[in-house]
A and B are shown apart, each in its own frame.
Chain A
Amino acid sequence: MSVIALNDGYQGEVKDREENFHGNRLLFIGWEDHLMFCAPHCIPVSPTMTFATLANEVIPGIYSSHPDWDKVAIGEIEWFRSNERFAPEFGRTLGENGLQHKAVIRFRTPGLTGINGSCS
């Protein structure tokens, strides 16, 4: 389907093009079963950041205030790119791991189901 507009060929400006983010791109991150964080997060990242940096530094910076975080073993995390399971290569960059601008990473920490098992 396409837009119903007064003039043919109407096309709005793409507001969130990658080049508008000053060398960064957006990455969305959500921790499954931990909805105390009300929604997934949005962060700007450098495409050259390694997955290891993301997993070992950036993600703990966002989520370590959760009481489950101390029990998380980074090596056991199940990663999803959008809805599909994927096995990231930690030494490679986000771009090389297929995480383009506005990609979604969801991660699951098996056995951890939030505050009193409430998925919070």
Chain B
Amino acid sequence: MLSETDWGAIHLTLELATVTTVLLLLVCTPIAWWLARTRSVWKTPVRAVVALPLVLPPTVIGFYLLVVMGPNGPVGRLTQSLGLGVLPFTFWGLVVASLLYSLPFVVQPLQNAFEAVGDRPLEAAATLRASPLDSFFSVVLPLARPGYLTATVLGFAHTLGEFGVVLMIGGNIPGKTRVVSVQIFDHVEALEYTEAHWLSAGMLLFSFVVLLAIYAPRPDGSKR
């Protein structure tokens, strides 16, 4: 059925998606909050930049990341001077790539959720002595919970499904950068269709269940 390398790929994929999703939620919260509240002229350009990974071929993202994070790129020089080596073809290189790749899938649901909360709860909280930070945690976060659920699931699922970026930035190193999508590719290349079937069917089922969970009606009747 599944070989040890298959299980290794699955484990790595889940680890990558988990780390990426946690980091994305932290990074995207301030971005989405800013996008939802600002009246700055920079709002539209920033929105466009955030949405770029939606339309760019993953190979383009991978290519630029390779250049920037490579030994002669600005980020590469920085990581080297910090004694971290270079990121491409490492797990953390994959994490950085996944962060960019899945960014819009987390920012956009959060932004929508923040916009839906509106000004009034914040104003009410302010008249009840809550500082802006306090009211964010005590009012906005609970009210935006459905948005966080959507963002988490979408960010996680989308990271699971990446292939092009992984291939460009991570290569195909077992246990380090060989994720499920790459493993499937390898199986097909080697004409190991049975193994490819097992992994592909697993991905299919998992993705379906995830989407089912997102679209399922809430018990309290709230929309998403």
- A, B in one complex: no
